[in-house]
Amino acid sequence: MKIVFMGTPSFAVPILEMLNKKHTVLLVVTQPDKPTGRKKVMTQSQVKLQGIELNIPIFQPEKLKTDYQKIIDLKPDFLITAAYGQMLPKELLDQIKAINVHGSILPKYRGGAPIQYALFDGLRETGVTVMYMAYLMDSGDIIKQEIVQIYENDNYLTLSQRMSLVGASLLDSVLNDISQGIVHKIPQNPDKVSFAYTLKHEDERISFHQSTESIINRIKGLSPEPGAHAYLKNTMIKFYRAQKGDIIDNKAVPGTVLQSKKRLIIKTLDSSIEILEIQVPGKKAMHTKDFLNGQTIIHDDDVFIERSN
């Protein structure tokens, strides 16, 4: 088949690799390069880097809703999308059949952050859906789905890597069926719809006025990028890995540092949390034990808050 592929993060890379082996990928459409980090270095998407390596032409429209004619002119058999990051305009969907690889068991977690939300919510399993695309976000008919287990030590990176391999295999099966005239179409149940909208900066904040389990789950869903954060004396500190703490102080305010010498333990709403991996401004992420050697930023009885003053 002749395919135009649309995707952006690492989740989409194995899907692009499979399509390139089995079909003809005419074009890779991905989000524009964007500035990242404190130094605002212009960074290419993982899909763009893979497309360049595979010698496939790259297209990076700022606004796909007005800049899509190049795709139509190629006359592909299918558009295949996987975590692309922009809504496809109706005019494009009306002219070319489109299939999406989505990181949840739809109709649960429609939107741009389904893998993160599965971790935020502490689920034990999630999955991948291959679906026909409709103009309303993630609302198209389901073609095939597969369950993916969530392990205790999973974070966003490890879970998305496994899910992307499942997605590539599932899509391969779907395209084989279509080539043989086998068509599966299951309408989504509107009564079971939930949403996982693309994350905003405020979604990355940690409130220690929550349960330890909720905080650990949020850290998992934001690791290794962009990282969960809280503020201490107007300094934003990021957390990448944590476990339940073993110190209880019912009199302390949530966010209070209960220990800062060899371990970093912080009071939560219901108990405490031990931070295992941390990052402070100007430094790389590191094991908390290494960070605490000689640091002067965090002290016992300091209090972490959600926002800078």
pLDDT tens for each residue of 242-275: 999 999 999 999 999 999 999 999 999 999 999 9
What is the rounded average pLDDT of the residues 133-155?
96
Q: Nearest to residue 307, comparing CAs of 196, 198, 201?
A: 201
Residue 37 is predicted with a pLDDT of 72
Residue 41 is predicted with a pLDDT of 87
Judge if pTM exceeds 0.85. Answer: yes
Q: Nearest to residue 220, comparing CAs of 150, 308, 129?
A: 150
Give the residue range(s) of CATH 3.40.50.170 domains in the chain: 2-192
Give the residue range(s) of CATH 3.10.25.10 domains in the chain: 202-292
d(Cα 94, Cα 98) in Å, to the nearest integer? 9
Residue 294 is predicted with a pLDDT of 84
Let me know if 201 is exposed, middle or buried by CB neighbors in 10 A (0-12, 13-18, 19+).
exposed
Give, for 146, the enclosing helix (H) or strand (E): strand 142-149
Task: Return the percentage of the chain with pLDDT > 70, whole number.
Answer: 99
**Strands annotated E in 165-234:** 228-232
User: For residue 187, is pLDDT > 80?
Assistant: yes
Residue 35 is predicted with a pLDDT of 87
**Would you say domain 202-292 falls under CATH 3.10.25.10?**
yes
What is the rounded average pLDDT of the residues 88-117?
97
d(Cα 150, Cα 243) in Å, to the nearest integer? 17
β-strands 34-36, 41-43 pairing:
antiparallel
User: For residue 212, is pLDDT > 90?
Assistant: yes
d(Cα 246, Cα 95) in Å, to the nearest integer? 59
User: For residue 39, is pLDDT > 80?
Assistant: no
Residue 11 is predicted with a pLDDT of 96
Residue 307 is predicted with a pLDDT of 85
Q: What is the mean pLDDT of the chain?
A: 96
User: For residue 52, is pLDDT > 80?
Assistant: yes
Residue 56 is predicted with a pLDDT of 98
Let me know if 54 is exposed, middle or buried by CB neighbors in 10 A (0-12, 13-18, 19+).
middle
Write the class of the CATH domain 2-192.
Answer: alpha beta
pLDDT tier at 308, thresholds 50, 70, 90: confident
β-strands 257-259, 286-287 pairing:
unpaired
User: For residue 38, is pLDDT > 80?
Assistant: no
More confident residue, 99 or 250: 99
What is the rounded average pLDDT of the residues 158-166?
97
**Strands annotated E in 160-281:** 228-232, 235-244, 257-259, 264-267, 272-279
What is the rounded average pLDDT of the residues 7-24?
97
Q: Nearest to residue 244, comparing CAs of 282, 275, 269, 221?
A: 275
